[in-house]
Amino acid sequence: MIINHNYYLDLAFQLAERNLGQTGLNPSVGTVVVKNGTVISFGVTSINGKPHSEFNALNKLKNCSGASLYTTLEPCVHFGRTPPCVNIIIKKKINGLQTRHLEKKFIY
Ligand SMILES: [Zn+2]
């Protein structure tokens, strides 16, 4: 199966763009979860910035082991106002991660 990473990253960016202005001081991030060539979930940064996009995309999934995550910003690794997103990525057994540098328009 040929996987078009740019296609799924573009979907994630479209989500981020639709959510512009809703995330307070946090960047507007979009996330798409793909398994076997099918989008099985997506998420955006919540109003005022928490929870983060990756958490919103993954938390509702019961079984996404082996899926790939496409997100518009590198997942956070620190405790801030939310737990680090890498925790749920590991817990859900995500197999691949694709990201691209955040475009300036998504940062306030
Ligand atoms: Zn995060």
User: How far is the centre of ligand 1, averaged over its atoms, from the C-alpha of 89 (Å)?
Assistant: 10
Q: Which of 54, 81, 80, 48 is nearest to 67 (CA)?
A: 54
H helix or E strand, kind and range, residue 98: strand 96-99
Structure tokens at 93: 């057994």
80 pLDDT tier (thresholds 50, 70, 90): confident
User: How far is the centre of ligand 1, averaged over its atoms, from the C-alpha of 16 (Å)?
Assistant: 14
H helix or E strand, kind and range, residue 56: helix 53-58
2 pLDDT tier (thresholds 50, 70, 90): confident
104 pLDDT tier (thresholds 50, 70, 90): low
CATH value at residue 51:
3.40.140.10
Is 103 among the catalytic positions?
A: no
Number of domains in the chain: 1
User: How far is the centre of ligand 1, averaged over its atoms, from the C-alpha of 2 (Å)?
Assistant: 29
Tell me which of 17, 54, 74, 103 is the catalytic residue.
54
- pLDDT of 106 reads 62
Q: How far apart are CA 5 and CA 60, in angstroms?
A: 23
Domain with 85, as residue range(s), is 5-106
